[in-house]
Amino acid sequence: MPIRNAIHIDRRVRSVNAPPEAVFRVICRMGGKYGWFSPRWMWWARGWMDRMIGGPGLAMGRRHPETLRVGDILDCWHVAGMEPDRRLELHALMKLPGQGMLVFTIDAEQGPSRTTLLTQSAEFAPSGFLGTLYWMSLLPAHDYVFGSMIRGIARAAEREAGAAPVRATRAVTGSTLPARAAECESIDQT
């Protein structure tokens, strides 16, 4: 369930040449010793900043290295919802000027390609002006981190499935989102 009143959303959509269950397995392995498919130093820095203001940082770890269940702690996230091979919803435990959430949705695409559509959404409901300032100040870092994350998930799932990569990501960041991710104009070919 999306955050009520989330006005800042970074949504990325990518076709992955792997079955939904392979994509979901890769997503469930994120965090802990596997990392987040983006530079570890950036997550370390974010965890350090969180600890400096009294948050948990990234030191919370995880219950199991490869599987998740609702209620688990995953580094600085709480597993709030899950539908195996379809959806994973993580709520931020970090000290934030608002509420943060990271959602992965997996859909098998119809047609001859038999690819999987992966949607990754970072949502944030700010608490006032400082929350909005926080989100806006992190846009360049979010672009890099979340872009690296969805590409890393796709590559790992395609390797696991023994399939050739599909290289197209549609991304949109901001307050006003198109009704469907397919309407996004920005396409990253990396």
End-to-end CA distance of the chain: 30
Nearest to 96 by CA among 143, 49, 142, 60: 49
Return the pLDDT at 190.
43
> Which value, to the nearest 10 degrees, does the dihedral of the CA atoms of residues 85, 94, 74, 190 take?
50
Return the pLDDT at 42.
77
Radius of gyration for the chain, computed over Cα atoms and rounded to the nearest angstrom: 16
What's the CA gap between 140 and 94, in Å, rounded?
19
Which residues fall within 8 angstroms of residue 137, CB to CB, at 6 or more apart?
Answer: none
Q: In the structure encoding, which two tokens stand for residue 29, read together?
A: 């392995």
User: Which amino acid is located at 81 in the chain?
Assistant: G
Order of all β-strands in the sheet with 98-108: 73-74, 77-83, 87-92, 98-108, 116-126, 8-16, 169-174, 186-188
Decide: helix, strand or coil at residue 137: helix
pTM of this prediction exceeds 0.75: yes
Return the pLDDT at 86.
97
The DSSP output letter for 181 is G
Complete domains list, the chain, with CATH: 8-188 (3.30.530.20)
Decide: helix, strand or coil at residue 148: helix
Nearest to 154 by CA among 120, 103, 186: 120
Return the pLDDT at 174.
54
Q: In the structure encoding, which two tokens stand for residue 76, read together?
A: 């600085």
**pLDDT tens per residue across all 190 residues of the chain:** 555 555 899 999 999 999 999 999 999 999 888 888 887 777 777 777 777 877 777 666 788 888 999 999 988 899 999 999 999 999 998 889 999 999 999 999 877 777 899 999 999 999 989 999 999 998 998 899 999 999 999 999 999 988 777 766 565 555 444 333 333 333 333 4
